[in-house]
Amino acid sequence: MPTLKIDGQEITVEPGTRIIEAADRLGIPIPRFCYHKGLSVAGNCRMCLVETNKSPKLVPSCYEVCQDGLEVKTNTERVREARRAVLEFILLNHPVDCPICDQAGECDLQDLYFAHDAKPSRHAFKKLHKPKAKVIGPHVILDAERCINCTRCVRFCEEIAKAPRLTQVHRGEWTHVDVFPGQELDHPYSMCCADVCPVGALTTRDFRFKCRVWFLKGTYSVCAECSRGCAIRVDTFNNAVQRIVPRYNPLVNNFWACDEGRLAYHRFEKDRVNEPSIEGTKVHRSEAIGYLLQVIGHKDVVVVLTPFLTCEDAYIACKVIKTFAPQAKIVVGGRGQGFQDDILIRADKNPNRAGLKVVLAGFGLNLEGVGALSTLQSEDLGVLVFGEEHADAELIKALVAKAMHSAAFACTGKGGLGAKAVIPMPSPYEVNGTFINEFGVIQRCRKAVEPECGILPVWRTMKDISEAKGVALMVNNEQDVFEEMKMVCKPLASLHFSDIGEFGIKLEGFSVESSEAKA
Amino acid sequence: MTKDTEALKEGDLYTTYLHLNMGPSHPAMHGTVRIYLKLDGETIVDSDVDIGYLHRGFEKMAESGTWTKVIPYTDRLNYVSPLINNVGYCGAVEKLLGIDITERCKFIRVFVSEISRIVDHLTAIGACALEVAAYTPFLWCMQAREEFYFLIEAITGARVTTSYVRIGGVRWDLPEDWVERYERAEKKLFEMLKDVEALLTRNRIFIDRNAGVGVMKAEDAIAWGFTGPCLRAAGVDYDVRKAQPYLGYDRLEFDVPVGTEGDNYDRYLVRLEEIRQSVRIIRQVIKQIPEGPVNISDWRIVLPPKEAVYNTIEGTIANFENVMKGIQVPKGEAYYAVEGGNGEVGFYVVSDGSGKPYRVHVRPPCFAIMQALSDMIKGRLVADIIPTFDSINMIGGEIDR
């Protein structure tokens, strides 16, 4: 275990640790462009050069491995000169694009220039021109003049996405990144290339010119498109989602997220159900609650939950149903299986199936699919459906048609499944709650967008049903629900809602059904 | 204790003190101040001076933006001499940054400070005259002041909300004809001053209203924390420009007028003489000011020139980062004091290492002076409040921030 000194501070690290990692641990800032913790080391930007006692020349700290007795200095005049030189060369042909570049405000080149250089230009000639605003894929656009040739995107495509679509073309000062002729940047993680790009050379088409980054408010949340549950940050402005970027979570997704999950917010931008309606007529909420009481008052009641619900929503829903309709048959629908790879994308396109399993187990129920209802015959049927995307939609619609009273919670107008009453449901960006992913990691989903005033969390509506029946539930927010839920759901017993931090928590005693994927 | 608790002799009328509220909305209460008076007839038994009606949260607002964004707020502190506030604040931040400004910039800052001082004193003298019903000298002072406002407008672009000084320099160099403009203003100033002095300085009514009124002796003045003309009128020779020279004041020759009695009349005379001394300083500045750059060349502190911003990537980035993230001032604290129109204007700035101020505190000179107002008017008549309050020259924006 080598022990070394960086700027006088001593640290002992595992063998094979690079100097830059050791410095990051000590909190000593070393500027870098090409080094990325999730990618292999390239050592081509030369920004991380430091002075050491074991070499007469400056060494790249992203490449040099820590040795015993190494003394590293990160702030001598030689190091500062080297950084200024690197920045000066990078900026020689860099276009004056800041006013139109999306990266402004989160650009490494801007920040490092101001912190380490801030000298005027000595370039007296015209700048080179390279392809500008070139669409290289369905989600990514290239501005080659801004490229600083760090090769982060090239390494990402090769090592993480396993689809080597990008490369450096030409040579000398003409070098820039591009796709191969006739090919596109078409792998399912293409937007991550724009994330790793330290400048605005690769940007996402979805976010291009949409909003300046300093107006954005970021909310740490969880993606709801598949059972991986990648940690994301939802950036909003004016109460509307502007973009979604992945967050570092070593337990779930490392640094990456797939394009599909990042673009899913478009589904909830329009055509929202924002008021309850019965048979097409908008009604007051109290009428809707009354109708829901009728639905669960039948001799036979079918409740189709969806794994889009958070654990808290599912728990209160089950509790209220079990209390006032103990005869109800509770099944779980949701989206079907889809494409799976061994990087991040999972086949189960629902975020919280594992969470529903835990919640139902707390009520002594097994998780059963909608298929279990195919043989159901009834003359006195009430059907309550949650969520709008169900693989077994036809089966549910058939049941709804047979029912005397039927109600569906839906986000958009595409939901409803023919039910007589449609109740508004918030989108995954409008809820506070927890999701448990396929591998047993429980994460906090946080409200990024304030929904319209008619759209209340599902558990609130279920609580209103209970109160209409005269039983008040002693919960006022999701934290209260969680604290109650963990009394009956064993895997959650030792957790606190407010302690489920940035990375989530891997639950004990959780059986992993499918194999761990790499990434 | 009211009079009626004393034993009443038979035949006495029942009397009590009159509690009279003067202000905050009152023509003689400059910048909204309330003086709550306890009167026995016309005599002031006691008074309570109530400030804060113009409190706008300057110090709190300063914490919410970058260091540069505080400068327009400083204009609105002492709004009759805004350039002095600009100079004081920027000097404090430069002290914290540990940088030195260019020579030409130092002389420019001295020049604008002294012009502001002249404007401040003209306003004070004019108000002193106005409120004892000498309307004509007031208007003459205003005429002279107008010329200086034209000059300030030519230099900074505004009469009052100047925001001229920047951290590391000033907004732009003086206009090419600044000397002619100044000389025009100076000519008008002396024309008016000659007549104002003729009407006021040996005027029986003015002297009766002001001499011996609002007396504050040297010992008490120091105890109260007085600075500026009010302290010097009491006989204490203390001027920040001489005691702790800044911006090269130690290279300039000027005298500091000192009074003897510490009454309103002395304060008026001190201000009058200070105008002449300011003119003396300005004349030296005109002779000695060197050519050269007005701003330092470090783009981490001053904005780059616009040709660089629009045409080079370095200029664009430096401008963007400077504006968006603010000047990265290292952790620490600094106190920087300048001689304002009313005394020592101090700026105490604390940085936490980011581009936003952690704390900006202003030491308003008239705060200490207003504490003593109650003492100065005790036992005198209501009519004496007016000239006393005027000669203190309390500026609401400065005292309340």
Q: What is the DSSP secondary-structure string of A371-415?
A: GGGTT---SSEEEEEE-S--TTHHHHHHHHHH-SEEEEEESBTT-
Predicted confidence (pLDDT) per residue in A135-178, tens digit: 999 999 999 999 999 999 999 999 999 999 999 999 999 999 99
Put simply, whether A120 touches B (Cβ < 8 Å) is yes
Asked whether the beta carbons of residue B325 and residue A96 sit closer than 8 angstroms, the reply is no
Nearest CA distance, A112 vs chain B (angstrom): 10
- CB < 8 Å to A117, chain B: 314
CB burial class (10 A; 0-12, 13-18, 19+) of residue A281?
A: exposed
* Distance between A29 CA and the closest CA of chain B, angstroms: 15
| Residues of chain B found within 8 Å of residue A99, distances taken between Cβ atoms | 316
Residue B331, pLDDT above cutoff 90: yes
Q: Which of residues 273-312 of B touch A (CB under 8 A)?
A: 298-300, 304, 308, 310-312
CB-based contact, A111 to chain B, within 8 Å: yes
Rounded distance, CA B309 to CA B317, Å?
Answer: 8
Smallest Cβ–Cβ distance between B311 and the set A96, A118, A119 belongs to A96
Q: How far apart, in whole angstroms, are the C-alpha atoms of residue A353 and residue A341?
A: 19
Tokens standing for residue B5: 């608790």
> Searching chain A, which residue's CA lies closest to the CA of residue B326?
A114
Interface probe for B, chosen from A86, A98, A112 (most Cβ of B below 10 Å), is A98
Q: How far is A451 from chain B (nearest CA, A)?
A: 29
Average pLDDT over residues B26-42: 84
Continuous H helices in B201-331: 204-210, 218-224, 229-233, 240-243, 264-288, 306-311, 313-325
Structure tokens at A339: 């494409």
CB < 8 Å to B325, chain A: 111, 114
Does position B28 have pLDDT exceeding 80, yes or no?
no
Answer whether B320 touches A (CB < 8 Å): yes
Instruction: Convert the pLDDT of each residue in B107-135 to its tens digit.
Output: 999 999 999 999 999 999 999 999 888 89
- Number of A/B CB contacts below 8 angstroms equals 55
Q: What confidence tier does B26 reach under pLDDT thresholds 50, 70, 90? A: confident
pLDDT value at B5 more than 80: no
Q: How far is B106 from chain A (nearest CA, A)?
A: 24
CB contact under 8 A, B316 and A99: yes
Q: Which residues of A touch B324 (CB under 8 A)?
A: 105, 214
Give CA–CA dist B361/B61, Å, rounded.
Answer: 11
Chain A residue numbers with beta carbons less than 8 Å from the beta carbon of B312 are: 96, 120-121, 123
CA distance to partner chain B, nearest, from residue A142 (Å)? 19
pLDDT category at B233 given cuts 50, 70, 90 is: very high
Q: Do A110 and B321 touch (CB under 8 A)?
A: yes
> Dihedral (C-alpha) A69, A72, A76, A82: value to the nearest 10 degrees?
130
Residue closest to B341 by CA, chosen among B160, B15, B117 = B117
Q: Would you state the pLDDT for residue A511?
A: 61
CA distance B58 to B47: 28
Contacts of residue B317 in chain A, CB cutoff 8 Å? 91, 98, 109-110, 113-114
Q: How far apart are CA B289 and CA B281, in angstroms?
A: 12
- In A, minimum Cα distance to B309 occurs at A96
Distance from CA of B127 to the nearest CA of A (A): 48
| Structure token pair of residue A160 | 């993480």
Q: For position B55, what pLDDT does the model report?
A: 93
d(CA A189, CA A159): 12
Token pair in block for residue B377: 């008017």
| Contacts B321 to A, Cβ<8 Å | 110-111, 113-114
Chain A residue closest in CA terms to B300: A118
Q: Which of B99, B295, B306, B314 to mutate to test the interface with A (most CBs of A within 10 A)?
A: B314
Shortest Cα–Cα distance, A47 to chain B (Å): 17
A125 touches chain B (CB under 8 A): no
Average pLDDT over residues A367-387: 85
SS3 A336: coil
For Cα atoms A325, A330, A335, give the angle at the middle one, nearest 5 degrees. Answer: 145
Q: Residue A518: pLDDT above 60? A: no
Whether B321 has its CB under 8 Å from any CB of chain A: the answer is: yes
- The mean predicted confidence, pLDDT, of chain B is 91
**Residue A57 pLDDT > 70:** yes
The residues, ordered by sequence, that sit 6+ positions from B88 with a Cβ below 8 Å of its Cβ are B74, B336, B337, B338, B340, B345, B346, B347
Distance CA A316, CA A127 (A): 63
CB contact (8 A) between residue A114 and residue B322: yes
Quick one: pLDDT band at residue B273, thresholds 50, 70, 90?
A: very high
Instruction: Give the pLDDT mean for B207-234.
Output: 92
Residue B84 has a pLDDT of 95
Q: How confident is the model at residue B10 (pLDDT cuts 50, 70, 90)?
A: low
More confident residue, A367 or B283: B283
For the cut 60, the answer to whether the pLDDT of residue A514 exceeds it is no
Q: Using the beta-carbon criterion (under 8 Å), do A95 and B313 form an inter-chain contact?
A: yes
Within 8 A of B308 by CB-CB distance, chain A residues are: 120-121
Say whether pLDDT at B309 is over 60: yes
All structural domains of chain B, each given as residue ranges with its CATH number in brackets, are: 58-400 (1.10.645.10)
Which of A24, A272, A216, A9 lies closest to A102, judged by CA?
A216
Chain B partners of A213 at a C-beta cutoff of 8 Å? none
Q: What is the pLDDT of residues A250-265, one digit of tens each?
A: 999 999 999 999 999 9
Question: Please, what is the average pLDDT of chain A?
Answer: 91
**pLDDT bracket for residue B1 (50, 70, 90):** very low
Tokens matching residue A413: 């107008």
- B328 at the A interface (CB within 8 A)? yes
For A328, the token pair is 């109800």
Nearest CA in chain B to A123: B312
Interface test with B, best of A113, A122, A127, A212 (most B CBs within 10 A): A113
Query: What is the model's pLDDT at position A454?
Result: 84
Mean pLDDT of A300-325: 92
Strand partners, A296: none
Question: What is the average per-residue pLDDT within A303-330?
Answer: 91
Work out the pLDDT band at B11, boundaries 50, 70, 90. Answer: low
- Residue B356: the pLDDT is 92
* Interchain proximity A96–B308, CB inside 8 Å: no
pLDDT bracket for residue B365 (50, 70, 90): very high
Residue B2 has pLDDT above 60, yes or no: no
* Chain B contact set for A98 (CB, 8 A): 313, 316-317, 320
CB contact, 8 Å: A99 with chain B?
yes
Mean pLDDT (whole number) for A329-339 = 90
Contact across the interface for B312 and A121, Cβ inside 8 Å:
yes
Q: Given A98, A123, A214, which is nearest B317 (Cβ)?
A: A98
Kindly indicate the confidence band of residue A517, based on its pLDDT and cuts at 50, 70 and 90.
very low
Q: Which residues on B lie below 8 Å from A86 (Cβ)?
A: none
Question: Is pLDDT at A348 greater than 80 in this prediction?
Answer: yes
* CB proximity A487 to B under 8 Å: no
Selection from B106, B107, B108, B120 nearest residue B148 by Cα:
B120
Reported as a pLDDT band with limits 50, 70 and 90, residue A516 is very low
- pTM reported for the whole predicted model: 0.87
Contact check, Cβ <8 Å, A118/B316: no
- B50-106 pLDDT, tens digit per residue, is 998 999 999 999 999 999 999 999 999 999 999 999 999 999 999 999 999 999 999
A258, A230 Cβ separation under 8 angstroms: yes
pLDDT for residue A327: 85
Q: Which residues of B touch A91 (CB under 8 A)?
A: 313-314, 317
pLDDT in tens, A278-308: 988 999 999 999 999 999 888 889 999 999 9
